[in-house]
């Protein structure tokens, strides 16, 4: 009875503080519920079980016997005698035989099961911190040596007993070599295995743990406040002390190879975007280099890498929490003592910079039957803020036009996108299409036609319509966050860039209010038509298409790999 009461208390509290994003997806969900469920129960139908058939339940349970079990073995070398429908995948289904059943019965005698320990992270205290201070953004509240703490109480969700702690250990040497990058990926995978029980306990308690390896190490914990400090400390201790076996390293390496294999067999439009995405990682190492490094990495290499990224990093933490400032600082002092990091550089990472015209072409033949073409344009004349604003307004305008002309009217594809994208601190425009019957050579002609028509339509656009697009983006940017976690996420990019003024959003809004229609036209002309900066031509041909599917490009340089291009582009070191 006690366990049942605890369950309902947790369920009620979870519903009380549930994060609901009221966008069009939420409206669609409500509409679907209204079609199928009586109106009084549209919101609570998923939590009511007032009618059920005990006989039907008992009948179904009676069928859950070992002889009726289905056990799936998935591996390249499993036996098969047919192909699965639609997927064309090798398949075989066999009944469990008496020998297998007998073997399972023998194994059962050797296994011992018990109820799990009580989850120590389930909150029962939902008290709130009372503060007369109203924060507009996080503030640097403590800096001692190589440890600094940024703190804020929620501005919009102070009535929710939730918090978030993000620990950031950036290390200049964490990704400089191919061995370091592969070790980082293996360490992240192994950490997810070793912390899986803790992560599960956290999820049951309405909390979340995240371990990532971006330019070093990031550990994040979020959820109900009562046990957040305890959970964060436990996560740090578990990460610092876990050991690994040779078998686990073999498993991690197998996972890594599988990820590379998956990346080589994506959809055509995803393959088209890969060279640009690879260019963003500085330095980028090709698959052949990474696989070669993978073979040499041992258990000790991974554990040594773990120690090195902590030892050589400075520690900075953002606390967004239903905790007092002193409580937050005390928690981080305790964690800093555990980490014992010795680095002193607040590293921000290296990025690609676009300083002059480059017209680059990548081409690749896919294993699928689809073609794809991505054309992406960055201009050199615009800084981060104005580039973001102008490219976003243009993407909002151009996407429906691009979709209407190339998909609806010309029926060239089933995946069509006009979008904004970034490279380093610069923003640009992209156009992407996947087709099962038209090659990049043909698609490029239709792209060029669209670019000219779009420029004419942009010129002819009434000022009132342009202002509506501006207002729509301004409304989106000025809209308050809809959940506690969205509020945290808004500050993390500035935190990563060491911008403790946390004013990037405010600057973007200021720029947005001042841009004109002529600014939009100039940006489009420079980036797309004149191609004054970095222009990408990223093309994928289907497996049965010959080389004539590629268009003949004048004054474009074809690169075999992303790393080849990266070597000729300027790099901003420790970029803001």
Of the chain, the percentage scoring pLDDT greater than 70 comes to 95
More confident residue, 538 or 215: 538
Read off φ and ψ for residue 421, nearest 5 degrees.
-150, 160
C-alpha angle 179-182-187 in degrees, rounded to nearest 5: 115
- CATH superfamily of this structure's domain 352-572: Metalloenzyme, LuxS/M16 peptidase-like (3.30.830.10)
pLDDT of 9 higher than 50: no
Q: Is the CB of residue 194 less than 8 Å from the CB of residue 147? A: no
Number of H helices, E strands in the chain: 19, 16
Instruction: Please report which confidence band the pLDDT of residue 258 belongs to, taking 50, 70 and 90 as the band edges.
Output: very high
CA 318 to chain centre: 20
> At the top level of CATH, which class does the domain 139-339 belong to?
alpha beta
Residue bearing tokens 């016997």: 65
In the chain, where the domains are located: 52-106, 139-339, 352-572
The tens digit of pLDDT for each residue in 372-393 reads 999 999 998 899 999 999 999 9
Nearest to 272 by CA among 399, 424, 378, 375: 375
pLDDT of residue 21: 59
CB atoms closer than 10 angstroms to residue 369: 12
Place of tokens 């998956």: 262
Which of 329, 276, 359 has its CA nearest to residue 533?
359
Q: Which helix (H) or strand (E) holds 442?
A: helix 440-460
In the predicted model, what is the mean pLDDT of residues 441-447?
95
Residue 356: other Cβ atoms inside 10 A: 10
Residue 575 has pLDDT above 70, yes or no: no
| CA atoms of 493 and 576, how far apart (whole Å) | 11
Residue 30: predicted pLDDT: 86
Distance CA 417, CA 399 (A): 6
The tokens describing 265, both together, are: 């067999």
Contact 282, 352 (CB under 8 A): yes
Per-residue pLDDT at 6 exceeds 50: no
> Are the C-beta atoms of residues 223 and 484 closer than 8 Å to each other?
no
Q: Which residues pair with 540 in a beta bridge?
A: 364, 372
pLDDT in tens, 454-476: 999 999 999 999 999 999 999 99
Measured between alpha carbons, how far is 254 from 291 in angstroms, rounded to an integer? 11
Residue 452 is predicted with a pLDDT of 97
* Percent of the chain residues topping a pLDDT of 90: 69
Distance from C-alpha of 336 to C-alpha of 339, rounded to nearest angstrom? 5
Strand partners for 421: 428
Can 139-339 and 352-572 be said to share one CATH topology? yes
Strands 216-224 and 208-212: antiparallel
Between CA 108 and CA 116, with CA 114 as vertex, the angle to 5 degrees is 135
Q: Is the pLDDT reported for residue 349 higher than 80?
A: yes
Mean pLDDT of 255-271: 94
- Separation CA 373–CA 537 (nearest Å): 8
- Which residue has tokens 């501005």? 155
Collect all residues with Cβ–Cβ distance below 8 Å to 18 and sequence separation of at least 6: none
- Helix (H) / strand (E) element for 380: namely none
pLDDT of residue 347 exceeding 90, the answer is: no
Q: Tell the burial category of 73 from Cβ atoms under 10 Å away from its Cβ (0-12, 13-18, 19+).
A: exposed
pLDDT in tens, 47-74: 787 778 889 999 999 999 888 888 888 7
For residue 371, give the nearest of 547, 534, 556, 531 by alpha carbon: 547
CA atoms within 13 A on the CB side of 453: 12
Confidence band of 42 (pLDDT split at 50, 70, 90) = confident
């Amino acid at each position: 009875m006690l366990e049942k009461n605890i369950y309902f208390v947790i369920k009620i509290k979870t519903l009380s503080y549930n994060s609901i994003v009221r966008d069009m997806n939420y409206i669609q969900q409500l509409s679907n519920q209204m079609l199928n469920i009586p109106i009084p129960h549209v919101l609570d139908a998923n939590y009511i079980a007032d009618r059920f058939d005990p006989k039907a339940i008992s009948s179904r349970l009676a069928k859950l016997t070992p002889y009726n079990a289905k056990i799936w073995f998935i591996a390249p070398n499993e036996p098969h005698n047919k192909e699965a429908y639609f997927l064309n995948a090798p398949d075989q289904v066999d009944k469990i035989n008496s020998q297998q059943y007998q073997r399972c019965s023998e194994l059962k005698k050797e296994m011992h099961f018990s109820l799990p320990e009580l989850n120590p992270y389930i909150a029962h205290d939902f008290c709130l911190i009372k503060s007369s201070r109203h924060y507009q953004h996080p503030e640097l509240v403590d800096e001692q040596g190589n440890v600094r703490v940024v703190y804020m109480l929620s501005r919009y969700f102070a009535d929710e007993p939730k918090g978030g702690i993000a620990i950031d250990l950036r290390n200049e040497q964490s990704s400089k070599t191919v061995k370091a990058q592969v070790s980082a990926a293996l360490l992240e995978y192994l950490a997810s295995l070793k912390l899986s029980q803790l992560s599960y306990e956290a999820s049951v308690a309405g909390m979340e743990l995240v371990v990532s390896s971006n330019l070093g190490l990031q550990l994040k914990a979020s959820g109900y406040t009562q046990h957040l400090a305890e959970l964060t400390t436990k996560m740090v201790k578990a990460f610092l002390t876990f050991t690994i076996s040779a078998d686990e390293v073999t498993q991690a390496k197998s996972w890594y190879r599988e990820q590379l294999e998956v990346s080589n067999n994506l959809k055509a439009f995803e393959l088209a975007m890969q060279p640009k995405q690879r260019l963003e990682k500085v330095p980028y190492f090709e698959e052949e280099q990474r696989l070669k490094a993978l073979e040499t990495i041992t258990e000790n290499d991974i554990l040594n890498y773990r120690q090195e990224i902590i030892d050589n990093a400075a520690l900075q933490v953002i606390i967004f929490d239903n905790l007092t400032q002193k409580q937050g600082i005390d928690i981080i002092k305790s964690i800093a003592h555990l980490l014992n990091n010795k680095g002193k550089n607040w590293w921000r990472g290296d990025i690609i910079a676009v300083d002059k015209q480059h017209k680059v072409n990548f081409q690749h033949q896919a294993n699928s039957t689809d073609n794809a073409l991505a054309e992406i344009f960055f201009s050199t004349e615009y800084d981060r803020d104005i580039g973001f604003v102008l490219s976003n307004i243009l993407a909002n305008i151009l996407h429906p036009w691009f979709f209407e002309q190339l998909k609806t009217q010309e029926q060239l594809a089933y995946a069509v996108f006009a979008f904004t994208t970034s490279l380093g601190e610069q923003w640009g425009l992209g156009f992407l299409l996947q087709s099962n019957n038209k090659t990049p050579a043909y698609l490029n002609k239709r792209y060029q036609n669209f670019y000219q028509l779009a420029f004419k339509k942009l010129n002819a656009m009434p000022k009132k319509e342009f202002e509506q697009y501006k207002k729509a983006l301004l409304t989106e940017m000025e809209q308050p966050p809809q959940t506690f976690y969205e509020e945290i996420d808004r500050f993390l990019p500035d935190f990563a860039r060491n911008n403790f003024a946390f004013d990037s959003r405010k600057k973007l809004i200021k720029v947005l209010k001042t841009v004109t229609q002529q600014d939009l036209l100039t940006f489009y002309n420079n980036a797309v038509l004149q191609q004054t900066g970095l222009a990408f031509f990223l093309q994928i041909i289907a497996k049965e298409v010959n080389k004539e599917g590629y268009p003949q490009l004048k004054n474009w340089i074809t690169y075999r790999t992303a790393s080849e291009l990266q070597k000729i582009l300027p790099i901003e070191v420790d970029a803001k």
